[in-house]
Amino acid sequence: MEEKYKFKEKMDNTGKEIIVVEITTFVLYIIFLFATRLKDFITPLVFSLTLVNITYFLFRNFKRLNRAKSRVKYIFDLLNCLYSIFLGFSISEIVLKVIAFKSNKLDMNDIYTILITIFSVLVSNYVSGLQEKLQRAELERKIQQMNFELISSKFNPHFVFNTFNFLAETTRGNPERAEEMIIKISDYYREVLKFKDRWTVKEELEFISKYLEIQKELLSHIPIEYEIDYDLNTADYLIPTGITQPIVENAIKYGIKKNNGGIISINVMLEDGLCIEIKNSKSAFDEVCIKKFGTGLTIVSKLLEFVSGKLEFLTEENLTIFRLYIPTTS
């Protein structure tokens, strides 16, 4: 998965760290330079460059092992810093001996230092790689669990009973309409049964369109309209399956019904990743987001967290707006 938000944040942090490292290198160079009374320019340069950059490389490498929180994290970082400085200093002495002092001989201490450094880096890479695999496996497990809960929510008893009641009444009075409704319902649940971890934006919008058509029939006594618009460039991006349905259900329940009708608008755009915006007639903030933040919306929020996305809520004039931000995956 391309996690654009995460990647961008990491790049920004790495850039800042590199600037700090190079400034530190320059400061050390000046200090060492004056320590030699400006008689030797090469030795301070080689030593400061190797010491700071090797220490930084080792520190970042070992830091990947630290997945603890709170005090344990700080203790690990402190020990990591001391160990990295020790190895960095030792390796810098060896580099200085070879480059600045033109020595072709390494003693046993030098060899031990090199072997310990290589061994430490290899072990660090192996363990951190193993941790990442376990973390990915756990993440996939949680996503599958959330998707299962999302699928289960599609068989909402209230929705199913309303559908059956509608069919029972319509079959007697308007068989043709009942037949059309049966086709719509079967199409909808066929899509539900095809649920997987992710599908494309286009598939999601087709699915939600079928859901809205059913709701229009069930709530035919009030005017419901919907608009779906998306940038063609977003059609093939992958998103968690059925993630918009709980938001739309929330919009109908607390917006459309309470206002005796209205319009639901769904827009998909590229905005520093993928942004899905769902608007509907305004509902009370406290009622929707605090008292009535039900299972469906909770699942959506958690699912977005698992894929490094987020769910935003705001009100604007007579509109309630939900925005789902999802890292782009195509």
Task: Extract the tokens encoding 147.
Answer: 């998707």
Beta-bridge mates of residue 279: 265, 321
Task: Characterize the bridge pairing of strands 310-316 and 274-281.
Answer: unpaired
The DSSP output letter for 272 is S
Residue 319 has pLDDT above 70, yes or no: yes
Q: Residue 174 — pLDDT band, cuts 50, 70, 90?
A: confident
What is the residue extent of each domain of the chain?
4-140, 195-326
Percent of the residues in the chain that have a pLDDT greater than 70, as a whole number: 83
Query: What is the structure's pLDDT at 287?
Result: 47
Could you give the CA distance from residue 322 to residue 312 in angstroms, rounded to a whole number? 6
Residue 177 has pLDDT above 90, yes or no: no
What is the average pLDDT value for the chain, to the nearest integer? 80
Q: What's the CATH code, domain 195-326?
A: 3.30.565.10
306 SS3 class: helix
Could you give the CA distance from residue 246 to residue 297 in angstroms, rounded to a whole number? 6
The DSSP output letter for 232 is G
Q: Which of 312, 201, 317, 321 is nearest to 251 (CA)?
A: 321
